[in-house]
Structure 1
Amino acid sequence: MGLSLIEGLTKSLAMTVLSEIGDKTFFAAAILAMRHPRRSVLTGCLGALIVMTVLSVLLGWSAPNLISRKWTHHITTVLFLGFGFWSLWEGFTGEGESEELKEVEAKLDADMKADGIGAKGNSQGNEEDTKKQERRFLTQFLSPIFLKAFSITFFGEWGDKSQLATIGMASDFNPFGVVLGGIFGHALCTTAAVLGGKSLASQISEKMVAFSSGILFLVFGLQSLLSTTSE
C-alpha cells in the first residue's frame, strides 16, 4: 500500500504538471492575474482544480466497485496509450504558436467588455455598500473575481485529458496518493501561471509540452500494459 501511495503520488504529479502547462486553464489563470488581484485569481483557480481532482479521484476509486478491477485496469491502459498518441499528434501537427492563448485571451476580453458595460450604471450608487461588504470575510472570499476564476477553471477542466487520466489513475493506484500528487501539481502550475503572467505563458513551447506529455502517457500506458500481462 505504501508503494502504491508513492507511485500514485509521483505519477499523478508528473502527469498533472505536463498536462496543465500550456493548457487553457493555465493561460486563463495567467491572463486573469494580470487584470485582477492575484490572490483572488489564485484561490479561485486552485479551488476549482482541487474540487475537480477530488471528484475525479472519487469517481475513479468507485469505478472498481461498479466494474471489475481487470476491466478498469484495461481502460486505464487504453486511456494512457490513447492520450500519449494524441499528445504526440498534437506536437507534430501544431504550428508552434499559442493558439489556445489567443483563444482564451479573446474570450476574456469579450467577458470584460460585457462586465464593463453592465457595471457602468451601478458604480456610483453602490460604492458605500461595496466598501462595507468588502470588509466581511465571506464577501472577500466569494468575490466576483474568485467566482469567475473558479467557474472558468472548473468548466474548462471538465472532460480534459488530465481529468480522465486522474480517474484512470485512481482506479489503479492509491487514491490518496493520486489526490496529493494532483493537488500539488495543480498548485505548482497555477502558482506559476498567476505569478509569471502572460510573459511566462507566451514563452511556453507548446510542441515541447505536447511531446513531453505524450511520451509520459505512453510510458504509463506501457507500464500498465506490462503489469496486465504479468498478472
Structure 2
Amino acid sequence: MDTAVLMTTFGVIFLAELGDKTQLTAMALAIRYPWKKVFVGIAAAFALLNVGAVLVGKILFAVLPLFWIKFMSGGLFLFFGVTTLRGGEDADEEEGKKASARGPVVTSFVMILLAELGDKTQLVTTSLAAQYDSPLAVFTGSTLALWLVSLIGIFLGRQLIRVVSLYTIQKAAGVLFLVFGVIVLYQAFSGR
C-alpha cells in the first residue's frame, strides 16, 4: 500500500468533511441514539460508499442520476427533521426502550448513505482513485478520515448534553435536519 497516497487522501478528505453536514448529522444521531450503534451505521455506510467511489463510482453516477440521489437525500432529511421536532422527551424515552439493536444502526446507515452519495468527498475519492494506481490506499485513507470526522462529531454531541438540555438539542437537531433537507432539495432542483 502506498503510504503517501493514503496520507494525501486522508488529509484531503478529513479537511473537506470537517464541519460538513455529515459531522453534524453524526452529532445529532449520537444525541438521540447510543453512540456505538450510530458509529456502526456510519462506519458501514462510509465503507460501502468508498468501495463504490473507488471501484464503481463512475458507473453509479451513470446509472442513477444525481438529481434523484439528492431528491431522496433531501426528503430523508426533511422526514427526520419533522419526526425529531414532533418527538418530546417522553417519546424519546419510550422509543429508546422499544428500539431494537439495529434501529439506530440502520437509521444512521441510511441517513449517511443517502446524504453522502454523490457528495463532494465521494467525488474527491473517485477522482483520487482515478489519479493514483493505489485503490486500497485511497479507500483506506478516505474511510479512516470519514470515520474520524464522524467520531469527533459524535463525541462533541455527547459532551453538548452536559451543557444544554436534551430537549433543546433535539429541537435544534430537528431544525438542522430540515435546513439540510431544504438545501439538498434546492441543489437537486437547481442542478448543483
* Equivalent in the alignment of 1:154: 113
Is there any run of 5+ residues in structure 2 with no aligned partner, and where? 60-75, 161-192
Letter in 1 for 2:150: T
Is there any run of 5+ residues in structure 1 with no aligned partner, and where? 63-103, 200-231
Q: Percent identity, please.
A: 25
Cα distance change, pair 151–59 in 1 and its aligned pair in 2 (3 A): same
Q: Equivalent residues in 2 for 1:28-67 (5 A)?
A: 28-59=25-56
C-alpha distance in 2 between matches for 1:150 and 1:24: 15
Cα distance change, pair 105–147 in 1 and its aligned pair in 2 (3 A): closer
Larger radius of gyration: 1
Q: CA deviation at 1:177?
A: 0.5
Cα distance change, pair 52–105 in 1 and its aligned pair in 2 (3 A): closer
Do 2:30 and 2:157's aligned partners in 1 also have CA atoms closer than 8 Å?
Answer: yes
* Equivalent in the alignment of 1:215: none
Q: CA deviation at 1:113?
A: 4.8
Cα distance change, pair 109–38 in 1 and its aligned pair in 2 (3 A): same
Q: How many residue pairs were aligned?
A: 137
Tell me the TM-score normalized by structure 2.
0.62
Cα distance change, pair 105–30 in 1 and its aligned pair in 2 (3 A): farther
C-alpha distance in 2 between matches for 1:192 and 1:105: 21
Do 1:43 and 1:146's aligned partners in 2 also have CA atoms closer than 8 Å?
Answer: yes
Q: RCO greater where, 1 or 2, for CA within 8 Å and sep 6 or more? A: 1
Q: CA deviation at 1:61?
A: 9.5
* Equivalent in the alignment of 1:65: none
* Equivalent in the alignment of 1:216: none
Runs of 4+ in 1 over 3 A off after TM superposition: 104-109
Q: CA deviation at 1:30?
A: 0.4
* Equivalent in the alignment of 1:179: 139
Alpha-carbon RMSD across the aligned residues, in angstroms, is 3.1
* Equivalent in the alignment of 2:83: 111
Cα distance change, pair 10–105 in 1 and its aligned pair in 2 (3 A): same
Q: CA deviation at 1:112?
A: 2.5
C-alpha distance in 2 between matches for 1:148 and 1:179: 24
Q: Equivalent residues in 2 for 1:76-225 (5 A)?
A: 108-113=80-85, 116=87, 140=101, 143-173=102-132, 174-197=134-157, 199=160
C-alpha distance in 2 between matches for 1:145 and 1:7: 36
